[in-house]
Structure 1
């Protein structure tokens, strides 16, 4: 609910991208969020705390699908958040039978698919942007994530509270922890 109620407005994103006081750090910043639409407030929290943003920003949402396998070329769905800016949204899709231990690392797959997305866009800036993504990857990828918690509504029955507040959150934590250790295992800021 916090992410939904505090989504960043387009005007605020414009302020962040045009503010010369905000340092442009080299590298790629992967902001993990549950939001599929809108900009997570984790960006404004990060920028206000660090007074910096990465040269390439990707908002990543991980979604499990009720199908066995998702082909590698359909795993990453990208969209540009703001025209002429290196800010993207990526939905990472996994099926229930997909191996979480691919030959190529998660980071490599994501960046390669991002470059492919940029190549397929119309515009003369495409090659410059692909080069910028290559340089940003060499400079390093930083994983930024907030902590979300699902809670039963006030007044819910005890069984529902125990199921959601305890069991569900524990299962999410176990599954997300497994995903992180199998696919990423590098740098994290929370």
Structure 2
């Protein structure tokens, strides 16, 4: 009995080491290809040499299966099933959310009020989608009578890079017309950045939002000024041609007077347009600051995933039992996103995959 247990312990330890080495080699290969972008010859040489050594050890363990080598194989198979079900359920959930996005035509058809009462405040709607309006938002506005004056869809994405610079952390985009006051913000992190330790996440998000509004107004002002400058140059060129052709005529001074008056009118119109844009920018920034001072609410989707009725029995077991159990014992999204509990709002929804 003592010898049997020692053999089982020996082969369990050996097989575990071999499996860890195999997984490490495969992950290292992915890092070399996707992150480091090494040449395919270097990747092939590294993978080949590693697999020669590891497969030698693995074949030695397989020859001793009847002496206790089956135990680590069963443990490895169990862990593989758990990881595969988790990956499968997560991919199916994301695919379902991606295909059930709310169309912009439906959002625009609701009008600036979105068919609800817009109350003062800012709502941060967390989603895994980096584009489009998530289906959880339509579920939210069809079941609640009111919505915040400003809505920001927040998406946290991890990129295959070492670290993302702070100035490139957030990507902000407007959704719909300005009267809707809806934005999308994608927060990007590298594999060594820790979002949970980012205590100033909310402040940085609003700073990026305010910067986006200023840059948007600046781009609109630049386009207007470019058009006015081009018009001014064309008018000046035509007036100069007129003056040169009629240089000896008594109406030459009249041409100079007309060109100078046109440039003054264009300059005044350009300055009035820039002043109007700056006023609109200040009004929107003041509106966002007031809504921020009133309160910020973090809206998270508490999505439950279930298999369809016509699904196979093994899919029902994987989704309804194994994946549901894994979701239950994992950390909640509020802990992952470091959301304060006093300003948290969970919206429940069931997705059938």
User: Into which bin does the TM-score normalised by the smaller protein fall?
Assistant: 0.7 to 0.9
1:102 to 184, 189, 198: 198
How many angstroms apart in 2 are the aligned matches of 1:185 and 1:73?
A: 28
The residue that corresponds to 1:49 in the other structure is 143
1:165 to 323, 326, 342: 323
Give the TM-score taking structure 2 as reference length.
0.46
RMSD: 3.0
The residue that corresponds to 1:112 in the other structure is 207
Tell me by how many angstroms 1:43 deviates.
1.9
Matched, 1:76 2:231: no
**What is the correspondence of 1:1-190 to structure 2 with a 5 Å cutoff?**
1-19=95-113, 22-84=116-178, 85-99=180-194, 100-102=196-198, 104=200, 106-121=201-216, 122-123=219-220, 124=277, 125-148=280-303, 161=318, 165=323, 169=327, 173-174=330-331, 176-180=333-337, 182=338, 184-190=340-346
Q: Is the 8 A contact 1:30 1:144 kept in 2?
A: yes
Q: How many residues align?
A: 185
Tell me by how many angstroms 1:92 deviates.
1.0
Matched position secondary structure for 2:167: helix
Give the TM-score taking structure 1 as reference length.
0.80
Distance 1:170 1:74, change over 3 A: farther
Q: Rg larger in 1 or in 2?
A: 2
Q: Which runs of 5+ in 1 are unaligned?
A: none
Q: Which runs of 5+ in 2 are unaligned?
A: 1-94, 221-276, 347-353
Tell me by how many angstroms 1:86 deviates.
1.1
How many angstroms apart in 2 are the aligned matches of 1:103 and 1:29?
A: 19
Q: Is the 8 A contact 1:68 1:95 kept in 2?
A: yes
Distance 1:17 1:141, change over 3 A: farther
1:87-136 CA-partner distances (Å, limit 9, x unpaired): 011111111222432352x2111111111111110342222111111111
Q: Is the helix fraction higher in 1 or 2?
A: 2
Distance 1:72 1:144, change over 3 A: same
- Kindly indicate whether structure 1 or structure 2 has the higher relative contact order, using CA contacts under 8 Å at least 6 residues apart: 1
Distance 1:32 1:83, change over 3 A: same
Q: Is the strand fraction higher in 1 or 2?
A: 1
